[in-house]
Amino acid sequence: MSKFIDNTNKMIVGEGLAYDLDCYKTRRNNNMVVIGGAGTGKTRGIVEPNLLQAAGSYVVSDPKGNLYRKYKMYLQKKGYKVMKLDFAHPEESIKYNMFKGTIDPLSLKRSNANVTKLADTIVSLQHEGTRTLDPFWDECATLLLTSVIALIRDYYDDRYLNFSNVEVIINGMDIDENNADEETPIDVMFQNVEKIDPDSFALQKFKSFRVAAGRTLRSIQITLNALINAYADEYIDDIMSGHDLDIPSIGKEKTALFICPSDTERTYDGLVNVVFTQIMNGLVNYADSCEDSRLPVPVRFIMDDFATNVRISEFPRMISSVRSRGISTTILIQAESQLEQYYKSDARTILGNCDTYVYMGGGDIETAKSVAERANKTMHTIYEMPIGYEWVFRRGDKPVYTKIIDLDELMKSEKIVLKYGNKAKPVPDFPYQKYDLASYFDDDDDESEITHTDEVIDMTQDTREEELFEELTDEELMQKLEEMVSKEED
């Protein structure tokens, strides 16, 4: 087998087949779609050989965490900063706060547009990438979620930036569907905001939401709360308790970020999608500030199980524009129909923007027909393709029929030995305490006033520090909110 690893500026696609990653030289993009059924060799034949190349930075979907364990030491020896964002095992993960991801990493200024984008992404992902039949519902839900996230971001200490506290606030908005004008504790909360910051972004979004009819408001509150509840737990709070990931640094220095969604528990898939969306958007924004609008270190997104575990908001639009920024994507799916199920008509846009298309076989008839048309072969020739072989299509080149790379043989020929631990670690008990935003409501009037962002409330100095961290039942929470309303009325 010919050597690949010596030349680190190659994209490996098959035995004896590799392409230059310099897209200006090749006049092609580096986007690649890899299609093959389970067990056809997508990971060992494509993902792992390209990780061995150590070319540029990587953002990798790693559902089982095997790639991180296997290649961490190898990449570190190649000069990489290696990180793992693990939704399956949060105790082994770096910290990443999606709400802080709304702050522009270059100017360090709060980006209201990013808050809206985050809220819109969370709301839309619950519909499997589509919108409801009534877009008004989504628009109102986005307004409410935007206002609450912005409220916590702008008027509270960073440790309150999590979904548990978003849930607390939404729960406190007990709207009477028969009397929408009745004042709720959250209305009073935003009235306090208006006193000290009438131009508040959070306030303006809340006002826009509040004009809907009572029954509609109540329905939106209940449904949105059910959505947020899935993320309001100690595991996600722990991941969001810090912010270790500087997105622009991925494009500044060689970095390998492994993002590990659970391949069995799908509760957090929506958050995984938010993370991928924020990283890609953040890198595009950083590239636009660089010379020639291009990242100093090219970044490759390698997304296994793309149509189910990994989804990126507005991906069809983004894949057509990331090439000039030094960003490329490698998409791994089992059949073209998976893309069509989620992205609908945009699936053709995604495939059309991948100048390299690799087919490793599978049981999907429609995909086999599509490949047969590309290869100018009969469908049966493609469908009955021997195991261990693949078809490679490259824009402007003739189709290539070749063997899938034998990873063991490749590593043997390159004299590569990977050393990594595979010992299972016990899962520690979670030292979790839930922050309670609502507890600030029962302070004296001068202390319960919401201060401006430049004078963020420091709850750690509160005389009720112990009470701040206690678990409250829904009844106790509502009692505190009612006390606050009564105090305002007095």
**pLDDT at residue 160 in the model:** 87
H-helix or E-strand containing 390? strand 389-394
In the structure encoding, which two tokens stand for residue 342, read together? 């989620």
CB 329 within 8 A of CB 295: no
Q: Is residue 425 part of a domain?
A: no
Which residues share a beta bridge with 258?
A: 60, 84
CB-neighbour burial class of residue 50 (10 A; exposed 0-12, middle 13-18, buried 19+):
buried
Q: Is residue 39 part of a domain?
A: yes
CB 252 within 8 A of CB 72: no
Question: What is the domain range of residue 21?
Answer: 10-94+244-413
**pLDDT at residue 103 in the model:** 65
- The parts of the chain modelled with pLDDT lower than 50 are 1-2, 7, 107, 129-133, 422-471, 485, 488
Q: How far is CA 137 from the centre of its chain?
A: 23
C-alpha span between 260 and 399 (Å, rounded): 34
One domain for residues 88 and 104: no
One domain for residues 382 and 461: no
Which residues share a beta bridge with 300?
A: 58, 328
CATH of the domain at 315: 3.40.50.300
One domain for residues 81 and 124: no
Q: Is residue 116 part of a domain?
A: yes
One domain for residues 132 and 214: yes
One domain for residues 406 and 441: no
Is the backbone of residue 168 left (phi > 0), alpha (psi -120 to 50) or beta? alpha
C-alpha span between 438 and 471 (Å, rounded): 11
Place of tokens 């393709």: 385
Q: Is residue 443 part of a domain?
A: yes
CB 92 within 8 A of CB 259: no
One domain for residues 189 and 90: no
Place of tokens 């696609």: 13
Contacts of 424 (CB under 8 A, 6+ apart): none
One domain for residues 373 and 298: yes
One domain for residues 278 and 319: yes
Q: Is residue 424 part of a domain?
A: no
One domain for residues 377 and 303: yes
In the structure encoding, which two tokens stand for residue 140, read together? 């109102």
Task: Give per-residue pLDDT as tens, 64-115.
Answer: 889 999 999 999 999 999 999 999 888 899 999 988 866 665 545 678 888 9
Domain boundary among 413, 446, 469: 413
Q: Is residue 431 part of a domain?
A: no
**pLDDT at residue 370 in the model:** 95
Q: Which of 100, 206, 92 is nearest to 162 (CA)?
A: 100
One domain for residues 404 and 262: yes
One domain for residues 391 and 269: yes
Q: Is residue 479 part of a domain?
A: yes
Domain count, the chain: 2
Q: Is residue 420 part of a domain?
A: no
* DSSP three-state, residue 240: coil
C-alpha span between 126 and 115 (Å, rounded): 18
**pLDDT at residue 117 in the model:** 87
Output b/e per residue, 90-124; b: 16+ Cβ within 10 A: beebeebbbbbbbbebeeeebbbebbbbbbbbbbb
Domain boundary among 351, 380, 413: 413
C-alpha span between 221 and 32 (Å, rounded): 41
Question: Which spans in 299-385 are helix H?
Answer: 315-319, 336-343, 346-352, 365-375, 379-383
One domain for residues 333 and 354: yes
